[in-house]
Amino acid sequence: MLFNSIEFLIFLPIVFILHYLLPHKWRWLLLLIASYVFYMAWEWKYISLILVSTLIDYSVARRMESESRSGPRKLLLVISMFTNLGILVTFKYANFFIDNVNLVVDNLGMNYLIPYTGLLLPMGISFYTFQTMAYTIDVYRGQAKVERHFGYFALYVSYFPQLVAGPIERAQNLIDQLKAKTSIRSENLILGSKMMIWGLFKKMVVADRLGAFVTGVYDGPHDPSGILVIVATLFFALQIYCDFSGYSDIAIGVARIFGVRLMANIRTPYLSKNISEFWSRWHISLSTWFRDYLYIPLGGNRVNKSRWLMNIMLVFLISGFWHGANWTFIVWGGLHGAYLLSERFLKLKIPLLSIQRSFTFLLVCLAWLFFRAADIGTAGDLLAEISNPGVQNASYFIKAFGVSQFAFLSLIGILFMFFDPLIDKRHKSEAGLKKSDGLVYGAMVAMTLLFGNFGEVSFIYFQF
């Protein structure tokens, strides 16, 4: 079920009303059923994978609670990691490995090729497996208390506002909030509704409209036209930001009307003055996950220089691979790792803040080209096209796409980059309803109704 669908527009008010009509002791059950219904609206069979992760990690954590010996506790942790990573690798990466093995076999002149699995990629699998692994690791480290109520733990794993694309919540933050007795509060309803309106505007008006142009350039027939590639890459940078931050705003807003505060997942990353700052603002729940459960256990920066270099690159390469089973994502992660290391070693002194931000944005956009390209070969073709301006071809494409529509996309992109930090600051600074809010958010609703894409386009991060 998509946040930008008619089904969700019906689903959410029903769950909200029933939630506050029910006695507190039964609300967890309603939310758990609602979360499973929300997920099964996509493909009902794959709920079994969530149930397996839930049962394994619940059982492992309960067993850890009663086990003081180091050896058995480590074995339990291995069981949890093996199960969750096994599910993730099987459904997300099996065909990638098969494809690469087949390529090697074919190049060696062998006739036998390994058949593909034919498995669908379950929505949200990278998010809920990481969330359950975080819980088990925290219990093992003694940083999280064991949840004995199976229903609340199952709800923590599958809580529908953040199930499919995060934020990847820690048990310490979410479970106690799910247990808390809440009542309808006007400030929660106001702020939650404002965030949902803003998120839907970003997704349906900005991201989906820009996406049509980006798809035409990246996935269409390639004529040498560097200007088109540059414009499409800039548009994609804005598209993926609006798509992901729009999703995050809706997720946080939906949870807020139920009295739950999810962690911030994105904070105006394109205003970053360097790559380090970018990663403190972009996909915060994932970057902190990799920091706490991979980078620091590898030794972080408390090791010699060569080992530290390896730690940084390994984390970014794995982070890239987490996003998708394609070499393009690995290159994307590797580029960001190289950016960060260059930043630390070269220590360039760029004079003005505006120039720092522009330079960082251009580096991020270059990496986005690989992220968006269908494969490494296509990425290479796109880079080659940048060296050929192809103004005539660009003009022809824009006319075919629609000059007025292209102008609209450019204008909405420029306006959005100006207003987004202001709206973001407004959400953080106050939960009340100012007199001007009616005009601001009313205009957003009107813009969404007039210019929004109502084709129920999936969010980009749902594929991860």
Please indicate whether residue 388 or residue 355 has the higher confidence score (pLDDT): 355
Given a cut of 70, is residue 380 above it in pLDDT? yes
For residues 13 and 101, the model is more confident at 13
Tell me the pTM.
0.91
Q: State the pLDDT at residue 427.
A: 60
Q: How far is CA 208 from the centre of its chain?
A: 16
User: Can the peptide bond before residue 167 be classed as cis, meaning omega within 30 degrees of 0?
Assistant: yes
Mean pLDDT of 444-459: 85
Which residues have C-beta within 8 Å of that of residue 375, sequence separation ≥ 6? 326, 327, 328
Predicted pLDDT of residue 395:
62
pLDDT at 257 over 90: yes
pLDDT in tens, 177-189: 999 998 999 889 9
State what percent of residues in the chain have pLDDT above 90. 59
Share of the chain above pLDDT 70, in %: 89
Tokens of 375: 């494969």
Least-confidence region, from 129-143, 166-180, 433-447 = 433-447
Per-chain mean pLDDT for the chain: 88
Span 115-154, pLDDT tens digits: 888 888 888 899 999 999 999 999 999 999 999 999 999 9
Predicted pLDDT at 72 = 92
287-314 pLDDT, tens per residue? 999 999 999 999 988 999 899 999 999 9
Q: What is the mean pLDDT of residues 33-51?
A: 93
Phi, psi of 49 (to 5 degrees): -70, -40
Inform me whether the pLDDT recorded for 224 exceeds 60: no
Q: Tell me, what's the pLDDT at 92?
A: 93
For 45, the token pair is: 């069979």
Q: From the centroid of its chain, how far is CA 253? A: 16
> Torsions phi, psi of 418, nearest 5?
-80, -40
Which residue numbers are catalytic? 323
- Distances from the Cα of 334 to the Cα of 102, 371, 374, 379, angstroms: 24, 11, 17, 15
Question: Over 90: is that where the pLDDT of 44 sits?
Answer: no
pLDDT attached to residue 103: 86
Which residues lie closer than 8 Å to 296 by C-beta, 6 or more apart?
none
Task: Please give the Cα distance from 187 to 190 (Å, whole number).
Answer: 5
Give the tokens for residue 258. Answer: 């139920």
Cα 70 to Cα 368: distance, rounded to the nearest angstrom: 44
248: number of Cβ within 10 Å? 27
Residue 412 has pLDDT above 70, yes or no: no
Q: C-alpha angle with apex 106: 105 to 112, nearest 5 degrees?
A: 70
What is d(CA 174, CA 97) in angstroms, rounded to the nearest whole number?
35
Q: Using 50, 70 and 90 to split pLDDT, how confident is the model at 454?
A: confident
At 223, the pLDDT band (50, 70, 90 cuts) reads: low
Asked which of 142-151, 182-191, 273-282, 342-351 is least confident by mean pLDDT, the reply is 342-351
Q: Is the pLDDT of residue 411 over 70?
A: no
